[in-house]
Chains A and B, each alone.
Chain A
Amino acid sequence: MLVVDSLGKRYGRRWIFRQISFSVSIGDRLAILGHNGSGKSTLLKSLAGLIPPTEGTIKLDGDSRISLGYAALEMALYPQLSVAEHLQLSADLRGVPARTDELLKRVNLEYAADYLASALSTGMKARLKLAMAIQPEPKVLLLDEPGASLDEAGRTLVQEIAEEQASRGALIVATNEPQERRLATHELVLAE
Protein backbone atom coordinates (compact mmCIF):
# COMPACT_ATOMS: atom_id res chain seq x y z
CA MET A 1 0.00 0.00 0.00
CA LEU A 2 2.76 2.44 1.00
CA VAL A 3 6.43 1.45 0.73
CA VAL A 4 9.19 3.78 1.91
CA ASP A 5 12.75 2.88 1.02
CA SER A 6 15.94 4.55 2.31
CA LEU A 7 14.22 7.92 2.70
CA GLY A 8 16.32 10.91 3.70
CA LYS A 9 15.82 14.66 3.92
CA ARG A 10 18.56 17.24 4.22
CA TYR A 11 18.32 21.01 4.71
CA GLY A 12 21.64 22.58 3.81
CA ARG A 13 24.29 20.33 5.37
CA ARG A 14 22.04 19.01 8.14
CA TRP A 15 20.26 15.69 7.67
CA ILE A 16 16.81 15.84 9.31
CA PHE A 17 16.44 12.07 8.94
CA ARG A 18 18.12 9.38 6.88
CA GLN A 19 17.81 5.73 5.82
CA ILE A 20 14.17 5.38 6.80
CA SER A 21 12.50 2.30 5.37
CA PHE A 22 9.11 0.79 6.21
CA SER A 23 5.90 -0.32 4.61
CA VAL A 24 2.30 -0.20 5.78
CA SER A 25 -0.75 -2.14 4.66
CA ILE A 26 -4.42 -2.47 5.65
CA GLY A 27 -4.90 -2.46 9.40
CA ASP A 28 -1.46 -1.05 10.23
CA ARG A 29 -1.33 1.93 12.55
CA LEU A 30 2.15 3.41 12.73
CA ALA A 31 3.14 6.04 15.30
CA ILE A 32 6.15 8.20 14.41
CA LEU A 33 7.77 9.33 17.63
CA GLY A 34 10.64 11.65 18.44
CA HIS A 35 11.49 14.79 20.33
CA ASN A 36 10.78 18.28 18.99
CA GLY A 37 12.81 18.93 15.84
CA SER A 38 13.51 15.27 15.17
CA GLY A 39 11.76 15.46 11.79
CA LYS A 40 8.35 13.86 12.47
CA SER A 41 6.40 16.55 10.59
CA THR A 42 9.00 16.70 7.79
CA LEU A 43 8.72 12.93 7.33
CA LEU A 44 4.92 13.13 7.19
CA LYS A 45 5.10 16.00 4.67
CA SER A 46 7.47 13.96 2.55
CA LEU A 47 5.04 11.02 2.63
CA ALA A 48 2.22 13.40 1.65
CA GLY A 49 4.27 14.63 -1.32
CA LEU A 50 4.54 18.19 0.01
CA ILE A 51 8.31 18.09 0.41
CA PRO A 52 10.57 16.28 -2.06
CA PRO A 53 12.92 13.89 -0.24
CA THR A 54 16.67 14.32 -0.73
CA GLU A 55 17.15 10.58 -1.19
CA GLY A 56 15.11 7.41 -1.23
CA THR A 57 11.73 6.51 -2.68
CA ILE A 58 8.07 6.49 -1.66
CA LYS A 59 5.71 4.15 -3.49
CA LEU A 60 1.98 4.52 -2.99
CA ASP A 61 -0.81 2.54 -4.66
CA GLY A 62 -3.11 4.71 -6.79
CA ASP A 63 -3.56 8.45 -7.26
CA SER A 64 -2.16 10.24 -4.19
CA ARG A 65 -4.99 12.81 -4.26
CA ILE A 66 -7.43 10.02 -3.41
CA SER A 67 -5.24 7.36 -1.80
CA LEU A 68 -3.77 9.77 0.73
CA GLY A 69 -5.42 11.87 3.43
CA TYR A 70 -3.33 14.39 5.38
CA ALA A 71 -4.13 16.68 8.28
CA ALA A 72 -1.69 18.88 10.19
CA LEU A 73 -2.03 21.72 12.64
CA GLU A 74 0.15 24.05 10.54
CA MET A 75 -1.79 23.47 7.31
CA ALA A 76 -3.59 26.69 6.34
CA LEU A 77 -7.21 27.03 5.20
CA TYR A 78 -8.74 29.68 2.93
CA PRO A 79 -9.95 32.43 5.30
CA GLN A 80 -12.63 33.61 2.85
CA LEU A 81 -14.17 30.17 2.24
CA SER A 82 -16.74 28.55 4.49
CA VAL A 83 -16.46 25.11 6.07
CA ALA A 84 -18.87 23.59 3.51
CA GLU A 85 -17.08 25.34 0.62
CA HIS A 86 -13.77 23.80 1.72
CA LEU A 87 -15.28 20.32 1.55
CA GLN A 88 -16.85 21.07 -1.85
CA LEU A 89 -13.55 22.42 -3.22
CA SER A 90 -11.68 19.39 -1.92
CA ALA A 91 -14.24 17.02 -3.50
CA ASP A 92 -14.23 18.82 -6.87
CA LEU A 93 -10.43 18.78 -7.04
CA ARG A 94 -10.14 15.12 -6.07
CA GLY A 95 -13.11 13.98 -8.14
CA VAL A 96 -14.89 12.33 -5.19
CA PRO A 97 -18.38 12.91 -3.70
CA ALA A 98 -18.42 15.88 -1.28
CA ARG A 99 -20.50 14.10 1.46
CA THR A 100 -20.61 17.47 3.21
CA ASP A 101 -23.45 16.78 5.67
CA GLU A 102 -22.16 13.31 6.54
CA LEU A 103 -18.57 14.49 7.13
CA LEU A 104 -19.55 17.56 9.13
CA LYS A 105 -21.75 15.37 11.33
CA ARG A 106 -18.83 12.94 11.73
CA VAL A 107 -16.51 15.65 13.06
CA ASN A 108 -19.28 17.46 14.99
CA LEU A 109 -19.13 20.60 12.87
CA GLU A 110 -22.59 20.46 11.26
CA TYR A 111 -23.64 23.69 13.03
CA ALA A 112 -20.66 25.54 11.45
CA ALA A 113 -21.19 24.62 7.76
CA ASP A 114 -21.59 28.27 6.76
CA TYR A 115 -18.88 29.71 9.01
CA LEU A 116 -15.92 31.25 7.20
CA ALA A 117 -12.60 29.59 8.04
CA SER A 118 -11.36 32.93 9.41
CA ALA A 119 -14.06 32.70 12.10
CA LEU A 120 -13.13 29.18 13.25
CA SER A 121 -11.23 28.36 16.43
CA THR A 122 -8.04 26.29 16.18
CA GLY A 123 -9.94 23.21 17.32
CA MET A 124 -12.71 23.73 14.74
CA LYS A 125 -10.07 24.13 12.02
CA ALA A 126 -8.49 20.85 13.14
CA ARG A 127 -11.88 19.11 12.83
CA LEU A 128 -12.40 20.55 9.34
CA LYS A 129 -8.93 19.34 8.28
CA LEU A 130 -9.79 15.90 9.63
CA ALA A 131 -13.01 15.91 7.59
CA MET A 132 -11.07 16.89 4.44
CA ALA A 133 -8.46 14.20 5.13
CA ILE A 134 -11.00 11.38 5.40
CA GLN A 135 -13.25 12.68 2.61
CA PRO A 136 -11.84 10.43 -0.17
CA GLU A 137 -11.76 7.40 2.21
CA PRO A 138 -7.99 7.22 1.74
CA LYS A 139 -5.90 4.07 1.80
CA VAL A 140 -3.31 5.86 3.94
CA LEU A 141 -4.27 8.54 6.47
CA LEU A 142 -1.45 10.79 7.71
CA LEU A 143 -2.12 12.76 10.89
CA ASP A 144 0.42 15.19 12.31
CA GLU A 145 -0.17 15.64 16.06
CA PRO A 146 -3.93 15.33 15.55
CA GLY A 147 -4.93 15.94 19.16
CA ALA A 148 -2.70 18.98 19.69
CA SER A 149 -5.48 21.58 19.44
CA LEU A 150 -8.46 19.40 20.34
CA ASP A 151 -10.46 19.08 23.53
CA GLU A 152 -11.31 15.74 25.16
CA ALA A 153 -14.23 15.13 22.77
CA GLY A 154 -11.95 15.95 19.85
CA ARG A 155 -9.32 13.46 21.01
CA THR A 156 -12.00 10.78 21.29
CA LEU A 157 -13.02 11.67 17.73
CA VAL A 158 -9.42 11.13 16.56
CA GLN A 159 -9.42 7.69 18.22
CA GLU A 160 -12.69 6.76 16.49
CA ILE A 161 -11.38 7.94 13.11
CA ALA A 162 -8.17 5.96 13.65
CA GLU A 163 -10.19 2.81 14.34
CA GLU A 164 -12.38 3.39 11.26
CA GLN A 165 -9.26 3.92 9.15
CA ALA A 166 -7.81 0.58 10.26
CA SER A 167 -10.73 -1.22 8.61
CA ARG A 168 -10.12 0.35 5.20
CA GLY A 169 -6.39 1.18 5.15
CA ALA A 170 -3.39 2.31 7.15
CA LEU A 171 -2.84 5.15 9.59
CA ILE A 172 0.42 6.99 10.19
CA VAL A 173 0.40 9.44 13.07
CA ALA A 174 3.22 11.73 14.19
CA THR A 175 2.88 12.31 17.89
CA ASN A 176 4.37 12.39 21.36
CA GLU A 177 1.00 12.13 23.12
CA PRO A 178 0.67 8.90 25.15
CA GLN A 179 -3.05 8.70 24.25
CA GLU A 180 -2.33 8.85 20.50
CA ARG A 181 0.62 6.52 20.89
CA ARG A 182 -1.76 3.88 22.20
CA LEU A 183 -3.60 3.98 18.85
CA ALA A 184 -0.59 2.47 17.13
CA THR A 185 0.19 -1.12 16.28
CA HIS A 186 3.79 -0.21 15.34
CA GLU A 187 6.20 2.57 16.33
CA LEU A 188 9.00 4.33 14.50
CA VAL A 189 11.29 6.44 16.67
CA LEU A 190 13.28 9.23 15.02
CA ALA A 191 16.57 9.59 16.84
CA GLU A 192 18.75 12.68 16.79
Chain B
Amino acid sequence: MNSSWRSEIFAVFRKEVMTELRSRSGLTTGALFAFVTVVTIALATYNQRIEKNLAAALVWNAIMFSSILSLPRTFIGEEEAGTGDLLRLMARPHAVFWGKSLFNVVQALLTGIVLSVMFIIFTNIKLTVPWLYAVSLVFGCISLAGAVTICGALVCRANNRYALAAAVAVPILLPLISLGITGVRIGIGPFETDASFLGGVRAGYGLIGYAIATLVIGPPLYAAVWKS
Protein backbone atom coordinates (compact mmCIF):
# COMPACT_ATOMS: atom_id res chain seq x y z
CA MET B 1 0.00 0.00 0.00
CA ASN B 2 1.58 3.31 -1.04
CA SER B 3 1.49 6.48 1.04
CA SER B 4 -1.31 8.02 -1.04
CA TRP B 5 -3.69 5.15 -0.24
CA ARG B 6 -2.58 5.11 3.40
CA SER B 7 -3.13 8.85 3.72
CA GLU B 8 -6.62 8.60 2.15
CA ILE B 9 -7.67 5.66 4.34
CA PHE B 10 -6.47 7.35 7.53
CA ALA B 11 -8.14 10.62 6.50
CA VAL B 12 -11.49 8.79 6.28
CA PHE B 13 -10.77 6.95 9.56
CA ARG B 14 -9.78 10.18 11.34
CA LYS B 15 -12.91 11.91 10.03
CA GLU B 16 -15.09 9.06 11.37
CA VAL B 17 -13.37 9.16 14.78
CA MET B 18 -13.70 12.96 15.08
CA THR B 19 -17.37 13.03 14.04
CA GLU B 20 -18.19 10.09 16.34
CA LEU B 21 -16.35 11.56 19.34
CA ARG B 22 -18.12 14.89 18.83
CA SER B 23 -21.60 13.46 18.22
CA ARG B 24 -21.28 10.22 20.27
CA SER B 25 -24.37 8.89 18.51
CA GLY B 26 -23.16 5.40 17.54
CA LEU B 27 -20.97 4.70 20.57
CA THR B 28 -23.60 5.85 23.07
CA THR B 29 -26.36 3.81 21.45
CA GLY B 30 -24.21 0.68 21.17
CA ALA B 31 -22.76 0.98 24.68
CA LEU B 32 -26.16 1.62 26.24
CA PHE B 33 -27.67 -1.40 24.50
CA ALA B 34 -24.74 -3.60 25.55
CA PHE B 35 -24.88 -2.42 29.16
CA VAL B 36 -28.65 -2.86 29.49
CA THR B 37 -28.48 -6.33 27.91
CA VAL B 38 -25.74 -7.60 30.25
CA VAL B 39 -27.37 -6.13 33.36
CA THR B 40 -30.75 -7.63 32.38
CA ILE B 41 -29.21 -11.07 31.87
CA ALA B 42 -27.30 -10.79 35.17
CA LEU B 43 -30.47 -9.83 37.07
CA ALA B 44 -32.57 -12.54 35.41
CA THR B 45 -30.01 -15.28 36.19
CA TYR B 46 -28.97 -14.06 39.64
CA ASN B 47 -27.49 -16.92 41.69
CA GLN B 48 -27.87 -19.36 38.79
CA ARG B 49 -25.23 -20.85 36.50
CA ILE B 50 -25.96 -20.06 32.84
CA GLU B 51 -25.72 -23.06 30.55
CA LYS B 52 -22.87 -22.67 28.01
CA ASN B 53 -25.08 -22.88 24.88
CA LEU B 54 -27.36 -20.19 26.21
CA ALA B 55 -24.42 -18.06 27.37
CA ALA B 56 -22.82 -18.18 23.90
CA ALA B 57 -26.09 -17.23 22.23
CA LEU B 58 -26.66 -14.36 24.68
CA VAL B 59 -23.13 -12.99 24.20
CA TRP B 60 -23.49 -13.00 20.40
CA ASN B 61 -26.99 -11.64 20.48
CA ALA B 62 -25.84 -8.67 22.54
CA ILE B 63 -22.73 -8.06 20.39
CA MET B 64 -24.65 -8.37 17.14
CA PHE B 65 -27.50 -6.03 18.03
CA SER B 66 -25.29 -3.37 19.65
CA SER B 67 -23.12 -3.44 16.50
CA ILE B 68 -26.07 -3.38 14.11
CA LEU B 69 -27.36 -0.29 15.92
CA SER B 70 -24.14 1.64 15.46
CA LEU B 71 -22.05 0.31 12.56
CA PRO B 72 -24.24 0.93 9.47
CA ARG B 73 -24.37 4.63 10.41
CA THR B 74 -20.95 5.14 8.81
CA PHE B 75 -22.45 4.81 5.31
CA ILE B 76 -26.19 5.32 5.80
CA GLY B 77 -25.68 8.40 8.00
CA GLU B 78 -23.40 9.89 5.36
CA GLU B 79 -26.12 9.69 2.69
CA GLU B 80 -28.83 10.93 5.06
CA ALA B 81 -26.74 13.97 5.98
CA GLY B 82 -25.99 14.59 2.30
CA THR B 83 -22.22 14.47 2.81
CA GLY B 84 -21.77 11.43 0.55
CA ASP B 85 -21.28 13.78 -2.42
CA LEU B 86 -18.37 15.46 -0.65
CA LEU B 87 -16.59 12.10 -0.37
CA ARG B 88 -17.43 11.11 -3.94
CA LEU B 89 -15.84 14.35 -5.18
CA MET B 90 -12.60 13.89 -3.28
CA ALA B 91 -11.96 10.24 -2.50
CA ARG B 92 -11.65 6.85 -4.14
CA PRO B 93 -14.26 4.22 -3.18
CA HIS B 94 -11.72 1.65 -1.95
CA ALA B 95 -10.17 4.19 0.43
CA VAL B 96 -13.59 5.19 1.75
CA PHE B 97 -14.55 1.55 2.33
CA TRP B 98 -11.27 0.71 4.08
CA GLY B 99 -11.33 3.85 6.22
CA LYS B 100 -14.89 3.24 7.35
CA SER B 101 -14.24 -0.49 7.85
CA LEU B 102 -11.24 0.29 10.03
CA PHE B 103 -13.39 2.58 12.17
CA ASN B 104 -16.15 -0.04 12.38
CA VAL B 105 -13.64 -2.77 13.33
CA VAL B 106 -12.29 -0.62 16.19
CA GLN B 107 -15.82 0.18 17.34
CA ALA B 108 -16.97 -3.47 17.12
CA LEU B 109 -13.88 -4.70 18.98
CA LEU B 110 -14.35 -2.13 21.75
CA THR B 111 -18.02 -3.05 22.08
CA GLY B 112 -17.30 -6.82 21.95
CA ILE B 113 -14.47 -6.74 24.48
CA VAL B 114 -16.22 -4.45 26.98
CA LEU B 115 -19.48 -6.40 26.65
CA SER B 116 -17.70 -9.74 27.01
CA VAL B 117 -15.74 -8.68 30.10
CA MET B 118 -18.94 -7.32 31.68
CA PHE B 119 -20.77 -10.53 30.82
CA ILE B 120 -18.08 -12.73 32.39
CA ILE B 121 -17.96 -10.60 35.56
CA PHE B 122 -21.74 -10.16 36.01
CA THR B 123 -22.68 -13.79 35.28
CA ASN B 124 -19.62 -15.34 36.96
CA ILE B 125 -18.80 -17.55 33.97
CA LYS B 126 -15.51 -19.52 33.98
CA LEU B 127 -13.69 -19.97 30.65
CA THR B 128 -12.34 -23.47 29.88
CA VAL B 129 -10.42 -22.45 26.73
CA PRO B 130 -9.81 -18.70 27.08
CA TRP B 131 -7.75 -18.43 23.86
CA LEU B 132 -10.54 -19.96 21.77
CA TYR B 133 -13.04 -17.61 23.40
CA ALA B 134 -10.72 -14.66 22.61
CA VAL B 135 -10.12 -15.76 18.98
CA SER B 136 -13.86 -16.23 18.42
CA LEU B 137 -14.62 -12.86 19.96
CA VAL B 138 -11.91 -10.87 18.16
CA PHE B 139 -12.37 -12.38 14.69
CA GLY B 140 -16.13 -12.55 15.17
CA CYS B 141 -16.17 -8.79 15.86
CA ILE B 142 -13.90 -8.08 12.85
CA SER B 143 -16.16 -10.24 10.65
CA LEU B 144 -19.25 -8.56 12.04
CA ALA B 145 -17.80 -5.10 11.36
CA GLY B 146 -16.83 -6.14 7.82
CA ALA B 147 -20.22 -7.72 7.08
CA VAL B 148 -22.24 -4.83 8.49
CA THR B 149 -20.03 -2.33 6.64
CA ILE B 150 -20.74 -4.19 3.38
CA CYS B 151 -24.50 -4.15 4.10
CA GLY B 152 -24.42 -0.41 4.87
CA ALA B 153 -22.29 0.32 1.79
CA LEU B 154 -24.56 -1.65 -0.53
CA VAL B 155 -27.86 -0.14 0.61
CA CYS B 156 -26.81 3.40 1.58
CA ARG B 157 -28.09 5.01 -1.64
CA ALA B 158 -31.37 3.08 -1.77
CA ASN B 159 -34.65 4.81 -0.90
CA ASN B 160 -35.83 2.18 1.61
CA ARG B 161 -32.33 1.64 2.99
CA TYR B 162 -33.22 0.42 6.50
CA ALA B 163 -35.59 -2.32 5.32
CA LEU B 164 -33.11 -3.31 2.63
CA ALA B 165 -30.22 -3.36 5.15
CA ALA B 166 -32.08 -5.87 7.32
CA ALA B 167 -32.92 -8.05 4.29
CA VAL B 168 -29.31 -8.03 3.09
CA ALA B 169 -27.87 -8.55 6.58
CA VAL B 170 -29.72 -11.75 7.51
CA PRO B 171 -28.10 -14.13 4.96
CA ILE B 172 -24.70 -12.48 5.42
CA LEU B 173 -24.75 -12.58 9.24
CA LEU B 174 -26.32 -16.01 9.90
CA PRO B 175 -23.20 -18.10 9.07
CA LEU B 176 -21.06 -15.67 11.06
CA ILE B 177 -23.30 -15.89 14.12
CA SER B 178 -23.34 -19.69 13.88
CA LEU B 179 -19.52 -19.84 13.81
CA GLY B 180 -19.26 -17.24 16.59
CA ILE B 181 -21.65 -19.14 18.89
CA THR B 182 -19.75 -22.41 18.33
CA GLY B 183 -16.38 -20.81 19.11
CA VAL B 184 -17.61 -19.00 22.23
CA ARG B 185 -19.56 -22.09 23.45
CA ILE B 186 -16.49 -24.31 23.30
CA GLY B 187 -14.38 -21.48 24.76
CA ILE B 188 -16.71 -21.33 27.78
CA GLY B 189 -16.82 -25.15 28.04
CA PRO B 190 -16.64 -27.63 29.50
CA PHE B 191 -16.65 -29.66 26.27
CA GLU B 192 -17.57 -33.32 26.31
CA THR B 193 -15.24 -34.78 23.65
CA ASP B 194 -12.16 -33.90 21.62
CA ALA B 195 -14.45 -33.68 18.60
CA SER B 196 -16.33 -30.83 20.26
CA PHE B 197 -13.05 -29.02 20.91
CA LEU B 198 -11.97 -29.53 17.29
CA GLY B 199 -15.37 -28.15 16.19
CA GLY B 200 -14.61 -25.02 18.21
CA VAL B 201 -11.16 -24.67 16.63
CA ARG B 202 -12.68 -25.09 13.16
CA ALA B 203 -15.20 -22.34 14.01
CA GLY B 204 -12.26 -20.13 14.98
CA TYR B 205 -10.60 -20.76 11.60
CA GLY B 206 -13.95 -20.13 9.93
CA LEU B 207 -14.23 -16.73 11.63
CA ILE B 208 -10.69 -15.78 10.55
CA GLY B 209 -11.58 -16.71 6.94
CA TYR B 210 -14.88 -14.83 7.18
CA ALA B 211 -13.09 -11.71 8.46
CA ILE B 212 -10.60 -11.80 5.59
CA ALA B 213 -13.34 -12.47 3.02
CA THR B 214 -15.53 -9.54 4.09
CA LEU B 215 -12.65 -7.09 4.04
CA VAL B 216 -11.47 -8.31 0.61
CA ILE B 217 -14.90 -8.55 -1.07
CA GLY B 218 -16.21 -5.24 0.34
CA PRO B 219 -14.15 -2.67 -1.63
CA PRO B 220 -14.99 -3.91 -5.15
CA LEU B 221 -18.66 -4.31 -4.18
CA TYR B 222 -18.75 -0.77 -2.83
CA ALA B 223 -16.90 0.57 -5.86
CA ALA B 224 -19.67 -0.91 -8.04
CA VAL B 225 -22.37 1.12 -6.25
CA TRP B 226 -20.14 4.18 -5.55
CA LYS B 227 -21.52 6.45 -8.26
CA SER B 228 -24.63 4.57 -9.26
Contact = CB atoms under 8 A, between A and B. Distances in A.
Contacts of B11: 89, 92-93
Contacts of B95: 93
Contacts of B91: 65, 93
Contacts of A80: 18-19, 22-23
A93 B8 contact: yes
Q: How many of chain B's residues touch chain A, expressed as a range?
A: 20 to 34
Given A50-B227, A81-B18, A65 B86 contact: no
A95 B227 CA distance: 21
B15 A78 contact: yes
A81 B22 CA distance: 9
A92 B83 contact: no
B90 A94 contact: yes
A65 B87 CA distance: 10
A90 B90 contact: yes
B75 to A, nearest CB: 14
Given A81-B15, A92-B7, A76 B86 contact: yes
Most B C-beta atoms less than 10 A away, residue of A74, A90, A92: A92
A97 interface: no
Interface of A: 48-50, 52, 65, 68, 70, 74-81, 85, 89-90, 92-95, 116
Interface of B: 4, 7-8, 10-12, 14-15, 18-19, 22-23, 81-83, 85-92, 95, 227-228
